[in-house]
Every structure is written in C-alpha cells, then in structure tokens.
Chains A and B, each alone.
Chain A
Amino acid sequence: MLGNASLLDFLSIGTVVPAARPWPRFRLDGKAWRALVERMDAADWLLLAEWAEPGEVHIALRDEGSGSIAIASRPCPDRRFFAVGQVRPGAIRLERAIHDLWGLVPEGLEDRRPWLDHGRWPCRHPLAAEKLPPAGSPPPYAFLAAEGEGLHQIPVGPVHAGVIEPGHFRFHAQGETVVRLEERLGYLHKGIHGLMAGKPLAQAARLAGRISGDSTVAYALAFARAVEAATGCEVPARAHWLRALMAELERIANHVVDIGAICNDAAFAMPLAHMSELREKLLRANALLFGHRLSMDCVVPGGVACDLDDDGIEVLRHLLSRLRKRFEKGVGLYSDTPSLLDRTTGTGVVSGSLAHRFGAGGFVGRAASRSHDARKVPGYPPYDDLDFAVPVMAEGDVHARVMVRVQEVRASLGLIDQILAGLPGGACRVDVPRQDGEGLALVEGFRGEVAVWVRLDGDGRVAAAHFHDPSWFQWPLLEAAIEGNIVADFPLCNKSFNCAYSGVDL
C-alpha cells in the first residue's frame, strides 16, 4: 500500500500546519522526514523548492502523478536534517546554501563546501538564531579535480568580458576540449531573506521585483500571488489579465534579445542588432503604457498598479502586428544561415534524463523533452481561459533551445492577441486584507517556474519569505552540457541557457 501512496497520503503522517494556502503544509518529525526522503528516491515527486528558517527546513513537492502540491517541514532542534540532496541532485546546492545561511547541517550530503558564503560576511550563518564569528581570511575554494594527461585549468570570472552578471567558471580542458566545468556562484548574494523579514508589504513587493531584473514581472507576480493566497485576497479579473499581458511582454522581450545574443556569441552580430531593435520597441511600449521600461513595480499585491485604456490596446495591437513580421524575418535569418546552424546544432546537449532528474523547467527543460509549464500545471488565471501551446523538443542542444524560445515567442504573441481581445472590465486593484497566514505561488517566468513562499504577520508585514529561481535546477545542467565541447563554444552554450545569477544568489 505504501508503495503506491500519493504525496498527500504519505505526508498525512505529519501534522497539518494551519493557515497554509493554497496548498497544505505538513510538519514531520525526524523519522517521518527520513522516510519521506527515502520514498522520494523511488516516487515521482518533484522538488519545487527547498529553504529554511532558523529552526526548520522546508521542501515544496509536487506529485507528478496526481499533480497535488504540498510543503513538508522538518523542525531541526539539533540543527541537523536528513539531506534531500542524497536523492535529488538539484537540491545539493540548495542545501549547501541552507547550511551557509541558517547553519543547519544536511546529514548525508557528500558535498559540504560552502556555496553562498565566500568567507566575506561579518558573521557565519547570518540567518541562524545564533550567529558564529567569521572564520578569518576567506578560505580558498576547493574546486573538483580532473586528472589526466595534458589537462590544464582555465579560470573565468567573476568579472566577465561583456556586460553581464558575475560568476566564476572553472574549466578543466584538454587542448580545446572541456573535460570538466564547475560553476561557482554567490557573488551577488544580497541577503534577500534577511531583508524581507519585517518589511511592510509595499516595500517587500518592491524588493521582490528586484530579485532578478529581467524577470521582475514574474517575481512580482509570484510574490503578489503568494501574498494573496496567504490573505485570501480575491483579485479582480481585469488584474489577472493585465498581469498576464505584462508577463507575456516580458517573456517576448527576453526571448527575442537572447535569440539574437546567441547568434552574436556564434560571431554573427546582425541578428542581435535586429532583435535588440524589437526589444527596444517593446520596452518603449512598456514605458508608455505601464510607466516603466521593464514594468517594475507594476504588479502589486492586490492587483496591478496601472490600468490600460483603449488607446493603449490600440498601440499594442499596432506594435505587435509589426513586431510579429519583423520577428519572423529575424528567425528566417537564423534558420536559413547554414554556417550559424552548424554552430548551434549538436552543441551543448542536455539529455532528457538529466533534465528530468534535476526537474529543469523553462526552455532548458522543454528543449530536452521535459514539457512542464506552470501556466498549464498547476495553472493560474487567466491562462485557464486562454489557448496556447507549450513547445517541446527532444534534441536538447543549443539549436533546440533557440527553437523552443522562437515558438514560445509565437505562443506569447498569440496569448497577447487573446488578452487584448478578451480583457474584462472593472477594477484592477483591491486592498489586501491585514491577515496572517502562509502562501505559496508558482508562476512561469521566461526562464521557467518561479516559486515564492511567504508568511505574513497580522500587521501587514512579511515575517519570512523565500524566492526560488528556476535556474537552481538549470545551472548544473550547463556543467553537463558543456562537457566534450570546445572552450570556444562555452559562451554559446551559456547564452542558450541564460541562467539567472542574481535570482539564485539572492
């Protein structure tokens, strides 16, 4: 019987935590937690996020069979917990980060190196109840070794050649071929968890929109939905539709310029010029209609901060009909240039089995046959009323990731047509009731599924919050994808992933 137990059946051995919405949270003791982790080894339960509080570890899980979602929590009075990373490789870095921030020890985790803590903070375990003094001078980081004849190392970063975010890449190469790549991130760690605690809702929403600037709408939306779930706030229909409009515009703006940038990293600069023009037009439309080029602070708990009038709808219609044609021209430039396809096809392959093991979402997963999209499952309004396809490919190479993104742009353009045609009337914002509670929200950003969990106190303040970026489960796949490729193809592979730095460093 236990062999087929669903996630919710299994978790019912724990105690239900009241006021957790919309999905239940269960508190497990050490034995039950251990049993859960061991069950996860065989069960089709996807890890959505893992985070902690000073005395407790949480994981959000989805039963891929039934679609049900739940949070399991393990109080750690002895500051240790049985590591989920033993059965879910995607959790390894999450648990290293948990140890750095909260000082909770993941038992059984092989890799105990620090992740976010570079030895430069004023204390160790800054979010734990009892902080430790710093260890002294920053310790050198022990990169994983590669052995063999003629191997050499190439250190890259944290400051890179272009205008991009910082991170360190350590290559072991044999001649031109990459034998091993190891990433070291955390340079952008700003202490979001600590900053969120005690913030009034408006300030917290502003901060949520600045976790990853390119996904500001996705994060603001996920935060708003989590707050609304926690407080039981009913958002007017028009707000849902306007939020979707902003989210799809953000998706298109990111996808188009990245498609161009991938071509640029294969030394074909023209598509980037063409695609950045399209992006610029979208950002200007954002500024005109919503008051901010990236639509920052436009999605707020309770609705949206700005309405769209009929003129605005006309402006968008006109813009998008032109953009669609010009985008297709750009796609033609990509797909009819054989020397470019030669660089992208067969480069940086992610196997479908790895994508599934890590639960990689977004275009990285969808280019490797993992079709998940949070707009479909669990789904959220208004997408249940809209018709759109989720593109999936199986090849897993740079070309597949480009083509998935091309198709996602087309799907988003179709979605915007439907949104503009069916935009319901009425108010676009309501007040959020002052109420305590916990909420979890899943939103599909352009990189994949963004998960936000929030606990509110009764005074309209955030007691604790966690933000999970889809790139946690995509970064490790980049290490696998580059293996056996030449060093010169790394920028191409990296850009085709375009993982978040700020979003995962928090």
Chain B
Amino acid sequence: MIPPIAHFLFHHLVRGPATLRDRIPADPDGVAELAEAVGVRARARLGRSLAIRMVDAGSCNGCELEVNAANNPIYDLERFGIRFVASPRHADCLLVSGPVTANMAEALKRTYDAIPAPKWVVALGDCARDGGCFAGSYAVLGGVDKVVPVDLHIPGCPPPPKQILAGLLALLERAAAGG
C-alpha cells in the first residue's frame, strides 16, 4: 500500500502549495501585495525576521483563532520571516490581545520586561484598545496601554488575518522610520 503521506507529498509537489502567491490583482483581498510589502519592510529593518511573542491578556480567544489563521498555509506569515516564538527573550515584538484582566496584568508586564530592547508592542483587537465590550468591569484594567506602552493598535473583533498582516506592515514602517 502507498502510505497516504506519499499522496500528499506528491500532490503538493505537482500542484504547489496552497499559499496565496498571486502578485497581481488576481487576489481580490490584496493579501499577497500586503504580504510582500511586509516581507520587504521586515528585511529592511530587522534583517530577515520579526519574532513575535503573543500574550492573551483576557481575550475571548477570537483573536487567537485569527492569529493562528494568519499562520495557516494560506496566509503563511512565516514565509516573510515573521514567526511566533515561545520565549519572550527571543522576541522583537509583543502581540497582546484582550482587555487586560487584573489576573493577567502581572504576567503581561513580566513578559514585556523579559523581551530585550528594542521592542515593540502591538495591541490586537478592539478590547485591547480600551477594554471593548468588557470595559468597566472590576476585573478588567481596560486596554493594553494601562500596563505596557503600545506602539500600534490593530482594530477588529477579531481582526481577520489580512488585517493582522496589514497591522504588522504598519509596525514595520514605523520601526523603519525609527519610531
């Protein structure tokens, strides 16, 4: 019997990957152009990579789902050298979702402190800006900037992968400008 993995490998060898790769308008979302721009900026500023440490500081997990989607073979963030790392000590950028619960504030601060400078913080999703629909609760601080300085905010509830890509591009532009 031919093992099923052989079928998969053959299929991808012949058909190529599922990743969005059209350079020209064929891609209605403009994701490919965006992705390419992100790649160029990432190289200009950070050599060949941007290492991101993600912290969920109270989100409903919608943002995490979309960040994971940005990692899927279709968007494939990693092809631009943007990757998620396990340790904050390996990271350039802290990506934070959620309204920042009181119970997560210290963990968030300690993760931020563990990232070597220069570092950037991106607040992901509507509730990371001001608490969103959780604002006003006793258990919520209401926005990532209450705990760590925020360089950029990516709006959306949750932001789709394309928006996340666009946000990272904006961050890299800012970094290139020395911000």
Interface residues of A (CB under 8 A from B): 116, 118, 120-123, 126, 158-159, 161-166, 186-191, 194-195, 203, 206-207, 210-214, 216, 257, 270, 273-274, 276-277, 279-280, 283, 287, 293-294, 296, 329, 332-333, 336-337, 500-502
A188 touches B101 (CB 8 A): yes
Select which of B5, B56, B69, B71 is within 8 A of A166 by beta carbon: B56
Q: Of B72, B111, B158, which one neighbours A159 at CB under 8 angstroms?
A: B111
B176 neighbours in A (Cβ, 8 Å) = none
Interface residue B33 (Cβ < 8 Å from any Cβ of A): no
Q: A191-B134, A270-B8, A294-B65 are in contact. List 14 more A-B contacts (CB 8 A).
A: A116-B103, A121-B138, A161-B86, A186-B103, A188-B98, A210-B60, A213-B65, A276-B69, A277-B74, A279-B72, A329-B7, A329-B8, A337-B5, A502-B60
Residue of A nearest to B62 (CB): A213
Interface on chain A toward B: helix, strand, loop, or mixed SS? loop
Which of B1, B54, B137 has the largest number of chain A CB atoms within 10 A? B137
Chain B residues whose C-beta falls within 8 Å of the C-beta of A502 in the assembled complex: 58-61
Find chain B residues with CB under 8 A from A294 CB.
62, 65, 158
Cβ-closest chain B residue relative to A278: B72
Interface string of B53-80 (1 = CB under 8 A from A): 0111111111111111101111000000
| Interchain pairs with CB closer than 8 A, number | 153
* B133 in contact with A187 (CB, 8 Å): no
CA distance A270 to B10 in the complex (A): 13
Residues of B within 8 A of A121 (CB): 102, 138-139
Is B136 on the interface with A (CB-CB < 8 A)?
A: yes
- Distance in angstroms from B7 CB to nearest chain A CB is 8
Q: Which residues of B contact A (CB under 8 A)?
A: 1, 3-5, 7-8, 18, 54-69, 71-74, 84, 86-88, 98-99, 101-107, 111, 133-134, 136-140, 157-158, 160
Q: Let me know if B137 and A191 touch, CB within 8 A.
A: yes
Q: How far is the CA of A293 from the CA of B61 in the complex (A)?
A: 14
Taking a contact as CB atoms under 8 Å apart, the answer to whether B99 and A190 are in contact is: yes
Pick from A161, A194, A213: contact of B61, CB under 8 Å: A213
Check if A277 sits within 8 Å of B72, measured CB to CB. yes
Question: What 6 pairs between A and B have smallest CB-CB spacing?
Answer: A213-B62, A191-B137, A161-B86, A276-B72, A191-B139, A213-B60
Q: How far is the CB of B154 from chain A (nearest CB, A)?
A: 15
Q: Which residues of B contact A210 (CB under 8 A)?
A: 60, 62, 133-134, 157
Please report the C-alpha to C-alpha distance between residue A121 and residue B103 in the assembled complex, in whole angstroms. 8
B74 touches A293 (CB 8 A): no
A126 pairs with B62, CB closer than 8 A: no
Cβ 8 A contact of A189, one of B7, B55, B59, B139: B139
Minimum CB–CB distance from B80 to chain A (whole Å) comes to: 17
